[in-house]
Amino acid sequence: MNIATLRMKVAVNHFKHLLLDDLHVSAVHQETEVFKKLAPRCKDVEISDKTWKSWFADPPIIPRIETIRRLDELASCAIRVISKKDGENKSLPSAFYGQLVHGGLVKRMMQASKSKHPLIALKDRAESYRPISALHLHIDAIEICALSNGYGDIPWETVKQVGSERVLNLIAERWGPRKGSVYSELTSDLQLEWDAASPNERIEIRKVFARFKPDPFERNLNAQATPNWNIAGIEADVSPLHIYKVLFSLAADSKFLVADRLAAWSLDLATSALAMHALVLPRTEN
């Protein structure tokens, strides 16, 4: 399977999973169920059943960017994602599927350039790349692992190294022990306890916090998730090239890796493993 086919399959199945939830069957177009869901929500966005089915062909038809934008338009009117942290219904980011199908780190790096210093240009484009989501970054890592083309006079091994290092840097921005951005996005310890508690248990929880003035309940409910770094055995300053060690070591903190935390961790752990494989493999082959 080539990367264009993979990107398309991931995009349409991701959309259908969010739309149909438990009714979703992977790799099946489910035209009847999909259009039944879309009809009352997306009256102003037109898509034919022929087009929809073609996206689930084997191999799927890869639409032009103008066509795949319809999928983003459908997502904007039909899909809401419930935030685990605050319970809010949120739309997907703009151009989520367009970027998933036609964007990516490799495409950004491989843009044509008239620079007299192509390696610098390549690194600059990699550094400026920011994925829309962790899923986008995961697909980037898969693409970098499969990369076998150079960029002009720059060998494929170098391109692979630049790309994999960028992926690891982005993972480090999310999971670094000192300033990782992902922790503020994840459910707090108190929120997890609150969600699992019975009505009577919730009354007791509120009583405990009410003993303090001011009451810290809301602050703790909305606090960021914090691993037990003593259990993980990780120091605060970890280089991006070793961020995979942070993710691997977090497995020791079983109380932390639950619910949305486990989902975020498992995807980024796989992404970091792919990036490390892409980084190390050329060196072992030489």
Q: 99: which residues sit within 8 A by CB, 6+ positions away? A: 131, 132, 136
Residue 82 has pLDDT above 90, yes or no: no
What is the structure's pLDDT at 285?
A: 57
Q: By C-alpha distance, which of 247, 254, 253, 252 is closest to 273?
A: 247
Residue 282 has pLDDT above 70, yes or no: no
Helical pair 31-38 and 3-20, crossing angle rounded to 10 deg: 60
* 154 strand-pairing partners: 151
Residue 284 has pLDDT above 60, yes or no: no
Q: By C-alpha distance, which of 122, 14, 5 is closest to 63?
A: 5
Output the CA–CA distances (angstroms, integers) from residue 38 to 28, 32, 106, 197, 263, in the order listed: 17, 10, 33, 36, 27
CA–CA separation, 26 and 1 (whole Å) = 17
Residue 76 has pLDDT above 80, yes or no: yes
The tens digit of pLDDT for each residue in 137-165 reads 999 999 999 998 898 889 999 999 999 99
Element (H, E) at 189: helix 189-196
What is the structure's pLDDT at 119?
A: 93
Burial 191-230 (b: 16+ CB within 10 A, else e): bbebeeeeeeeeeebeeebeeeeeeebeeebebebebebe
Please state the pTM of the whole predicted model: 0.92
CA–CA separation, 99 and 133 (whole Å) = 10
The tens digit of pLDDT for each residue in 5-41 reads 999 999 999 999 999 999 999 999 999 999 999 999 8
Q: Compute how many other C-beta atoms are within 10 angstroms of the C-beta atom of residue 88.
A: 9
Percent above pLDDT 70 for the chain: 97
